[in-house]
Amino acid sequence: MSSKLSTFICQNCGTETSQYFGKCLSCNSWNSIVEEMKSKRSKNQDIKNSQKAIPFNEISSKKISRFTSGFNEFDRVLGGGIVPGSVVLLGGEPGIGKSTIVLQSAGKISLNEKVLYVTAEESLEQVKIRWERLDQKSIDLKIFAETNLYLIIEEIKRVNPCFAIIDSIQAIHNHEMESSQGSVSQVRECSSELQNLAKQNNIALLIIGHVTKDGALAGPKTLEHLVDVVINFEGDKISSHRLLRSIKNRFGSTFEIGIFEMLEKGLKEVKNPTSIFTNKENISGVTTTITNEGTRPFAVDIQALVNKTFYSNPRRTTTGISINRLHQILAVIEKHVGIKLAEFDCYIATGGGFEINDPSSDLGVAISILSSLKNIPPLANSSFIGELGLSGQVRKSNNLRAKIEEAARLGIKNVIVPILDEDLNDHFQNSINIKEISNIKEAVKYALSQ
Ligand code: TYD
Ligand code: MG
């Protein structure tokens, strides 16, 4: 038994209200509230299906079994492979390559398991053309072109695959609801029905969702709590590199990344990411840092360009690090190195536009800025690791030992790091010169006066 209720939902942030407003009270966006019908399940039905609470010791825990996605980079982001019965949300901007990666993965998985690919956006012929371009072999990959949720559910039940893909959640709809395809309530309703299906039948489900940078199509954002794993597929469309980044993972660590390159014949894994984010030249304004993304440290270049400004307010722009971080680093340089930067424009870009969230890149940013300003190349064959404190000290970095190991593996000769808790010289047996420094002034003296 079910009855229909009317509700008002912001299409931008998903907030529900009982009446219409021109402006969302939660995210302040204008004209984003739409009236939608919501179906309400009866209370008696829920009580009839309810279960009883049980003590922990009666629950048997079994080890999670997984199967491979066919890509090592994808498996790592998933926490070691795909878990049967799990629901994964793969988000990203339109055109970034979501359909491509899942089709390649589906092809590889289907060599061992039964796979169903539901295409709600493209026709069978379009998918076939992409398939031929990708040069894939398959044994048991089935494809189904449909947008009606109930027909999709019936087909998934009939085929009973080990792995099913929905491409995409915005393109399917539940006819029982009056709201339009892609609206927040459709996306939510369709996802929860699909999630129940996956859990009941132990089918691993991958749902694709489009997310734009400004969050305009934020439907999938509202699903993040519903699914087990949320992965973002990101990259600059101009460059060919793409990153898979885990945002939420009930079966593994978050903030893992996987790196791919988009080529003529689809996506290829990048096994040695350092090769694409660094450029071993020793020129002014460029340093290398070792950043930690997920469990993996790797080297990324930081480039700075510092020029006399022609504007009343100097320009400060960044690619790959946050603009607030740059403002903070400039303030630390002014105060603790004693160099006035108010008359200079400052541009920062990371190698390949790679987004760095690790604060230990601060030291590299500061040295790049001063190297560009003074037009002096930094100490050759070096890497800079350390977070800058507001009082000019170089603070400890997480996973420092692994970062130094990565630098040594890459053949870097000097690492400039914060004061260490342990003596690592024996461990590295002088394969790399470890220079410990306590503040920015010392680092500048060491790196830029040779
Ligand atoms: P697609 O997977 O359709 O993106 P999404 O599903 O995220 O919207 O990828 C589209 C882009 O990828 C398109 O601009 C063309 C490019 N591409 C390649 O460069 N090589 C390939 O082999 C394929 C299949 C696509
Ligand atoms: Mg697509």
25 class by beta-carbon count within 10 Å (0-12 exposed, 13-18 middle, 19+ buried): exposed
Nearest CA to ligand 1 atom 25: 266
Nearest CA to ligand 1 atom 13: 95
Contacts of 272 (CB under 8 A, 6+ apart): none
Proximal ligand: closest to the CA of 234: 1
Cα(104) to ligand 2 centroid in Å equals: 13
Domain 275-447: which CATH number of 3.40.830.10, 3.30.70.3270, 2.60.40.10, 3.30.230.10: 3.30.230.10
Give the per-residue pLDDT at 2.
Answer: 43
Asked if pLDDT for residue 450 goes beyond 70, the answer is no
Cα(272) to ligand 2 centroid in Å equals: 27
Render pLDDT for 364-390 as a digit per residue (tens, 0 to 9): 999 999 999 999 999 998 999 999 999
* pTM assigned to the model: 0.74
Is the sign of the CA dihedral 144, 146, 152, 155 positive or negative? negative
Using the atom order of ligand 1, give the atom closest to the CA of residue 262. 19
Nearest CA to ligand 1 atom 1: 97
Any atom of ligand 1 within 6 Å of the Cβ of 209: no
Proximal ligand: closest to the CA of 210: 1
Report whether 267 contacts 104 (CB < 8 A).
yes
Structure tokens given for 165: 């893909």
Provide φ and ψ at 376, rounded to 5°: -120, 130
Cα(229) to ligand 1 centroid in Å equals: 23
Cα(99) to ligand 1 centroid in Å equals: 7
Q: Name residue, tokens 């006399």.
A: 308
Cα(94) to ligand 2 centroid in Å equals: 7
> If you average pLDDT over residues 177-183, what whole number do you get?
78
Report whether 341 contacts 333 (CB < 8 A).
yes
Domain 66-269: which CATH number of 3.40.50.920, 3.40.50.300, 3.30.2130.30, 3.40.50.450: 3.40.50.300
Cα 182 versus chain centre, distance: 23
Give the per-residue pLDDT at 423.
Answer: 81
Asked if pLDDT for residue 1 goes beyond 60, the answer is no
> If you average pLDDT over residues 178-194, what whole number do you get?
84
> If you average pLDDT over residues 4-27, what whole number do you get?
82
Using the atom order of ligand 1, give the atom closest to the CA of residue 168. 6
Q: Give the H or E element holding residue 287.
A: strand 286-293
Nearest to 81 by CA among 73, 89, 93, 69: 69
- Domains 66-269 and 275-447 are alike in CATH topology: no
Nearest to 327 by CA among 336, 317, 319: 317
Using the atom order of ligand 1, give the atom closest to the CA of residue 233. 7
Render pLDDT for 200-242 as a digit per residue (tens, 0 to 9): 999 999 999 988 665 544 566 678 888 999 998 988 766 788 8
Using the atom order of ligand 1, give the atom closest to the CA of residue 240. 19
pLDDT category at 446 given cuts 50, 70, 90 is: very high
Render pLDDT for 383-437 as a digit per residue (tens, 0 to 9): 999 999 999 999 988 889 889 988 888 888 999 999 988 888 778 877 899 999 9
CA distances, 354 to each of 237, 248, 366 (Å): 13, 20, 18
Q: Where are the alpha helices (DSSP H) in 181-302?
A: 184-201, 274-277
Pick the range with the lowest mean pLDDT from 83-87, 174-178, 355-359. Answer: 174-178
Most informative mutation of 262, 267, 268 for ligand 1 (most atoms within 8 A of CB): 262
Using the atom order of ligand 1, give the atom closest to the CA of residue 94. 8
279: helix, coil or strand? coil
Cα(99) to ligand 2 centroid in Å equals: 4
Burial pattern 262-273, b for ≥16 Cβ within 10 A else e, equals beeebbeebeeb
Where exactly are the structural domains of the chain? Answer: 2-41, 66-269, 275-447
Any atom of ligand 1 within 6 Å of the Cβ of 103: no
Instruction: Print the SS3 string covering 14-67.
Output: CCEECCCCCECCCCCCECCEEEEEEEEECHHHHHHCCCCCCCHHHCCCCCCCCE
Cα(167) to ligand 2 centroid in Å equals: 7
Structure tokens given for 39: 């179906």
Cα(103) to ligand 2 centroid in Å equals: 10
CA angle 115, 241, 353 (to 5 degrees): 140
Give the per-residue pLDDT at 216.
Answer: 47
Strands in 16-17's sheet, in edge-to-edge order, are 16-17, 2-10, 33-41
387 half-sphere exposure, CB direction, 13 A CA radius? 15
Cα(96) to ligand 2 centroid in Å equals: 8
Any atom of ligand 1 within 6 Å of the Cβ of 223: no
Structure tokens given for 21: 């407003």
Using the atom order of ligand 1, give the atom closest to the CA of residue 130. 24
Any atom of ligand 1 within 6 Å of the Cβ of 105: no
Any atom of ligand 1 within 6 Å of the Cβ of 241: no
Render pLDDT for 269-313 as a digit per residue (tens, 0 to 9): 988 777 667 777 789 999 999 998 766 788 899 999 999 999 989
> If you average pLDDT over residues 6-32, what whole number do you get?
84
Cα(109) to ligand 2 centroid in Å equals: 19
Using the atom order of ligand 1, give the atom closest to the CA of residue 133. 22
Nearest CA to ligand 1 atom 21: 266
CA distances, 363 to each of 368, 383, 395, 416 (Å): 9, 10, 10, 9
Any atom of ligand 1 within 6 Å of the Cβ of 266: yes
